[in-house]
């Protein structure tokens, strides 16, 4: 009696085990296929990247750039005299006295007009106007005037 029960239990376990193994196997197959698909995709992407890099290398070739620059740009080779060191850079101009006037640019021009006129060419555009953060520039003339 116990032996028979044992037999049934074993048969049941066998069926379950078979089902479980089938599931694992099926899952593994699905995963494997996905892996293969991803691998192929990765390889294709890599190939595509390589092809694009090769194209880029061709377009970025200095000889080609030089030919294009010679044809379309009015640039000349840089000469040694065009280099300079940071310590010869002129000092930052001393802060302008900020007036309470509503026209900051106008007051700046007034302040710096006659005596510093000779020095203005040395100040470059990269130096921010000292009073810029206090008052926003009037939008109308700044945006409109130079474009038209």
Partner 1 sequence: MSATADTFSLSSGDRRPQPAAIPWRQWLIQKLLYGRNIDRGAKAKARIGLAILAFATVYAVIAARLVMFALVANSHNTHRVVSGDAVATARPDILDRNGEVLATDVRVPSLYAEPRRLIDVDEAAELLTADLPDLDPKELRERLSSKRGFVWLKRDIAPEQQREIYHQGLPGIGFLNENKRDYPNGAEVSHLIGHVDIDNQGIAGIEKWLDGQGLNALHMAGLATDRLQNPVQLAVDLRVQHVLRDELVKARAKFGAIAAAGLVLNVRTGEIVALVSEPDYDPNNPSQALDPTRINRLTTGVYEMGSTFKAFTVAMALDSGKITLKSSFDAREPLQMGRFTIHDFEPQHRLLTVPEIFTYSSNIGAARIALASGGDAQRTFLDKMGQLDRLRTELPESAEPIVPKRWSALNTATIAFGHGLSVAPLQAVMGVAALMNGGVLIPPTFLKRSEADAQKLGKRVIKPETSAIMRYLMRLNVEKGTAEKAEVPGYYIGGKTGTADKVISGRYSKDKVLTDFMAVLPADQPRYLLLIMLDEPHAMPETHGFTTSGWNAVPTGGAVVARIAPLLGIQPRMDLPTADQQILASARESR
Q: Under rule CB under 8 A, how many of the chain's residues touch partner 1?
A: 30
Q: Does 61 bind partner 1 (CB under 8 A)?
A: yes
Q: Does 34 bind partner 1 (CB under 8 A)?
A: no
Closest CA to 121 of 81, 80, 90: 90
Helices (H) and strands (E) in the chain, counts: 4, 0
Q: Token pair of 135, please?
A: 């008052």
Nearer to partner 1, 25 or 92 (CB): 25
Asked if residues 112 and 120 have their Cβ atoms less than 8 Å apart, the reply is yes
Among the candidate windows 11-19, 43-51, 99-107, 139-147, which touches partner 1 by CB under 8 A? 43-51
CA distance 23 to 98: 81
Minimum gap (Å) between residue 120 Cβ and partner 1 = 26
Nearer to partner 1, 40 or 122 (CB): 40
Asked if residues 84 and 78 have their Cβ atoms less than 8 Å apart, the reply is no
Q: Which residues bind partner 1 (CB under 8 A)?
A: 25, 28-29, 32, 36, 39-40, 43, 46-47, 50-51, 53-58, 60-63, 66, 77-81, 83, 85
């Amino acid at each position: 009696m116990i032996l028979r029960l044992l037999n049934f239990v074993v048969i049941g376990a066998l069926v379950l085990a078979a089902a479980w193994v089938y599931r694992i196997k099926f899952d593994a197959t699905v995963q494997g296929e996905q892996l293969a698909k991803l691998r192929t995709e990765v390889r294709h992407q890599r190939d595509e990247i390589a092809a694009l890099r090769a194209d880029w290398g061709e377009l970025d070739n200095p000889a080609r750039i030089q030919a294009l620059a010679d044809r379309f740009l009015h640039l000349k080779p840089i000469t040694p005299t065009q280099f300079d060191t940071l310590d010869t850079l002129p000092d930052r101009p001393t802060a302008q006295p900020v007036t309470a006037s509503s026209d900051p640019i106008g007051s700046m021009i007034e302040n710096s007009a006659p005596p510093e006129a000779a020095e203005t060419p040395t100040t470059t555009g990269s130096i921010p106007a000292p009073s810029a953060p206090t008052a926003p520039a009037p939008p109308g003339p700044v945006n409109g005037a130079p474009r038209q």
